[in-house]
Amino acid sequence: MRFLLPLLLLAAPPVQDARERPPLERPGLLELTLPEPGGVRTEHFRLALPGAEASGEPLGVARLVRVPEEAGEGRLEWETHFFDARVRVLHLERLEQDELSLVWRELGEHRGRTVRVAFDQSSNALQVSDVGGAAARHRELDLGEGVFTPLFLLEQDRAGRLSTGGFRRVDANAGAIESVRLATGPAPVACLAGARLSTWTRSDGTLAGRYLFAGDALRAFQLQEGGPVALAISTEEYKALLDRAGGRLPR
């Protein structure tokens, strides 16, 4: 599956010698190829407090979906259900030949909020719409040295196509651009043999994401220090947990 996306969307921060970075991160119009999925790929996760991943009541569930489409286009989806808070979060990225769009939506029992981010070719900028209740805010983000969308960046990390170092990505919840840094290495001994751990941190040192990969499978992740830990589960367990919590979840 291939995507031709503008330099301003995908260029990483400039380096003194472009040879220090792989082709994905070098200047110019980039031809990007995601591993061929052979159809829709879905991964399911169970959310739990740190230290209680395998026991205790789950905090929620999540699923990550990659959908190949016609003409080399694609869609990436992340859906999370938080049981106690009765909140459902949807994150959707659509990749087309020369366009990109992102939608982040939070749905609660009595509230909702939607953030839309789209690339504007005429201004080479990102147009952001943030709507919650009766409030609506619109703004334009300067692409500067370039920016990635979160799920696309995660897929490149999964495929081992990123070098360690700094990147700029869209913060979907805030509707802003943030600077993050990637460090990779073998997973701790207690984890799966041969697994790889990717750690993303912000410029202030806080955790922006920790992901455990076994081959090309995402086995676990944590999005903030001290926050819920997600462990991969089967489709059957995911459906069973959703069914059990069905009466507490927003539609």
Q: What tens digit of pLDDT does each residue of 48-93 get?
A: 998 776 667 899 999 999 887 665 578 899 999 999 889 999 999 9
Q: What is the pLDDT of residue 12?
A: 34
Q: What tens digit of pLDDT does each residue of 91-136 get?
A: 999 877 667 789 999 998 878 899 999 887 777 788 899 998 777 8
Q: Is 146 strand, coil or helix? A: coil
* Residue 164 C-alpha from the chain's centroid: 17
**What letters, b where the CB count within 10 A reaches 16 and e where it falls short, cover 146-167?**
bbbbbbbbbbbbbeebbeeeeb
Q: What is the pLDDT of residue 34?
A: 43
Q: Where exactly are the structural domains of the chain?
A: 2-248
> Of 66, 76, 7, which Cα lies nearest the Cα of 37?
66
> Residue 218 pLDDT > 60, yes or no?
yes
CA distances from 25 to 28, 118, 171 (A): 9, 21, 20
- CB neighbourhood size of 184 (10 A): 16
Which stretches of 105-159 are DSSP H helices?
A: 150-158
pTM for the model stands at: 0.80
Residue 35, sorted as left (phi over 0), alpha (psi -120 to 50) or beta, turns out to be beta
Q: What tens digit of pLDDT does each residue of 23-38 get?
A: 344 333 233 344 444 5
Q: What tens digit of pLDDT does each residue of 233-242 get?
A: 999 999 999 9
